[in-house]
């Protein structure tokens, strides 16, 4: 049951029976509070729980204890808990008076955003129509420029995150590369310039690393660029690159059967880029940005790539393919090189469910990052703290980069056996980033789904993480 926010100037009849009242502390004054047994109220709300319902004159008053919410992230968590409380108590229509609220605009934004993020459910293939119903929370206050900005900011971010979650949640038989390219093309209606390069064009361009991954599938392989030109000047764009393996069997380096069904998530890096670009367009962000995603399906067939193959990448560098299940870096090699050459971005971020090793290292708690620029890393860490989307930097020392050099080609798609697997992936990608372009790699294999200890994410579902972190970085 997704939560729909409505900003209105008066209380709608459908919601008047359920009023939410935010309580700052025990001394908070309110005419409804004055009619209650003070001792009972304080014990119930401040000692036992965060939420307390009181019914008077056929109206429910839902009191929310905000006394322990100090930071923006606290209010986000409180919002997610409020949604669960409303859902568990089957309260589908409710309202609160923003005029009488003591919250700052930022606190209000986080409270509402946390509630909406938590409400996400992927019910597309459920036949029970009740599963598709929305609940409504009406924010009552005066119309103003600030309220409009708040509403647009919340809705644009939510649409980007929910789009990413939807894409990641789709099964591989539905969201294959052909369908995915079509869905991205629909973003043109938001003012984005979308260009789709199919297999024929990619072959002429020399994108052999990307094509090699998809050659075992009956589906097409694509490189898709998504451009947003919101700056008034011709400043360099920011570059965002994503891995889009719609399903990954591992190829001839076949994955074990256990958990292979999770490989529908192997396009989560590209979904991050797509969701991010949609949000920038909806916000009319005053920046230039480009998203580049490689879309393939890694299957087994008589035409599939073999371990030991050598391919010439778009950059001109040759790659020894030692393991066909280390395929994401092959796609990104061509995508990074293309973005570097054709857009020369101010800086470039790539997102990929690249390695299982990062899950062993960081679990489903933090995203592993690697970079060639410490200033960029510091900016990422600040935004990580601001959004609560944890990152952890891993080194890219020369010794690691030496481990991905090949004896028969320029580079190989594995590092040293049994060690530093996540770093080897980053070291490989670094070789395809344009000279002097600041770059950071996000290995989201552990944080694109099944994320632990995040109040605003439903358990065992796609997260849409990193989008909020990047938007915080951009200030857009």
Beta carbons of 337 and 315 less than 8 angstroms apart: yes
User: How many Å apart are CA 62 and CA 262, to the nearest integer?
Assistant: 40
Pick the closest to residue 159 from 292, 281, 72 (CA basis).
Answer: 281
Pick the closest to residue 93 from 12, 187, 35 (CA basis).
Answer: 12
- Name the residue with tokens 């193959």: 309
- Kindly tell me the sign of the dihedral angle through the C-alpha atoms of 191, 192, 197, 198: negative
Catalytic residue among 255, 317, 381, 405: 255
Pick the closest to residue 76 from 120, 118, 136 (CA basis).
Answer: 118
* R_g over Cα of the chain: 24
Structure tokens at 424: 């080897």
Beta carbons of 149 and 106 less than 8 angstroms apart: no
Q: At 470, is the secondary structure helix, strand, or coil?
A: helix
Pick the closest to residue 280 from 7, 73, 72, 470 (CA basis).
Answer: 470
| CA distance readout (Å), 251 to 47, 138, 151, 197, 310 | 56, 50, 46, 23, 16
Bridge-based pairing state of the strands 238-248 and 318-320: unpaired
Catalytic residue among 278, 283, 329, 412: 329
255 is catalytic: yes
Q: At 146, is the secondary structure helix, strand, or coil?
A: helix
Q: Running DSSP on this structure, what letter comes out for residue 450?
A: S
User: How many Å apart are CA 342 and CA 57, to the nearest integer?
Assistant: 67
Bridge-based pairing state of the strands 348-352 and 411-412: unpaired
Phi, psi of 374 (to 5 degrees): -70, -30
- Which sequence positions are flagged as catalytic? 255, 329
């Amino acid at each position: 049951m997704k939560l729909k926010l409505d900003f209105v100037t008066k209380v709608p009849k459908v919601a008047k029976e359920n009023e939410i009242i935010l309580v700052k502390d025990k001394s908070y004054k309110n005419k409804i509070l004055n009619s209650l047994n003070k001792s009972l109220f304080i014990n119930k709300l401040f000692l036992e729980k965060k939420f307390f319902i009181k019914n008077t004159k056929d109206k429910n008053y839902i009191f929310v204890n905000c006394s322990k919410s100090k930071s923006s992230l606290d209010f986000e968590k409180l919002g997610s808990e409020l949604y669960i409380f409303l859902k568990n108590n089957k309260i589908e229509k409710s309202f609160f008076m923003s005029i009488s609220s003591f919250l700052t605009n930022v606190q209000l934004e986080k409270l509402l955003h946390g509630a909406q993020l938590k409400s996400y459910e992927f019910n597309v293939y459920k036949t029970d129509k009740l599963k598709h119903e929305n609940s409504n929370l009406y924010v009552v206050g005066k119309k103003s420029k600030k309220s409009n900005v708040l509403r647009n900011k919340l809705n644009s971010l939510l649409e980007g995150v929910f789009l990413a979650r939807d894409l990641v949640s789709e099964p591989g038989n539905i969201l294959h590369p052909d369908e995915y390219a079509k869905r991205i093309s629909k973003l043109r209606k938001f003012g984005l310039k979308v260009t789709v390069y199919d297999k024929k064009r990619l072959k002429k361009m020399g994108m052999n690393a990307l094509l090699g991954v998809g050659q075992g599938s009956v589906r097409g392989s694509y490189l898709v660029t998504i451009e947003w030109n919101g700056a008034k000047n011709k400043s360099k764009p920011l570059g965002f690159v994503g891995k889009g393996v719609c399903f990954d069997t591992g190829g001839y380096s076949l994955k074990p059967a256990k958990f292979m069904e999770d490989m529908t998530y192997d396009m989560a890096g590209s979904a991050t880029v797509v969701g991010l670009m949609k949000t920038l367009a909806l916000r009319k962000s005053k920046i230039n940005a480009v998203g580049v995603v490689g879309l393939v399906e890694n299957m087994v067939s008589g035409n599939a790539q073999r371990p030991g193959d050598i391919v010439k990448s778009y950059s001109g560098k040759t790659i020894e393919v030692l393991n066909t299940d280390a395929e994401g870096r092959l796609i990104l090699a061509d995508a990074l090189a293309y973005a570097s050459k054709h857009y020369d971005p101010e800086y470039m971020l790539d997102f990929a469910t690249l390695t299982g090793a990062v899950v062993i290292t960081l679990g489903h708690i933090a995203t592993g990052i690697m970079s060639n620029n410490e200033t960029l890393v510091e900016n990422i860490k600040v935004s990580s703290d601001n959004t609560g989307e944890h990152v952890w930097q891993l080194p890219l020392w020369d010794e690691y980069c030496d481990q991905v050099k090949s004896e028969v080609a320029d580079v190989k798609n594995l590092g040293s056996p049994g060690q530093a697997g996540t770093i080897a992936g980053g070291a490989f990608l670094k070789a395809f980033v344009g000279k002097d372009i600041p770059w950071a790699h996000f290995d989201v294999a552990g944080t694109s789904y099944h994320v632990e200890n995040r109040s605003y994410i439903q358990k065992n579902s796609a997260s849409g993480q990193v989008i909020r972190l990047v938007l915080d970085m951009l200030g857009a």
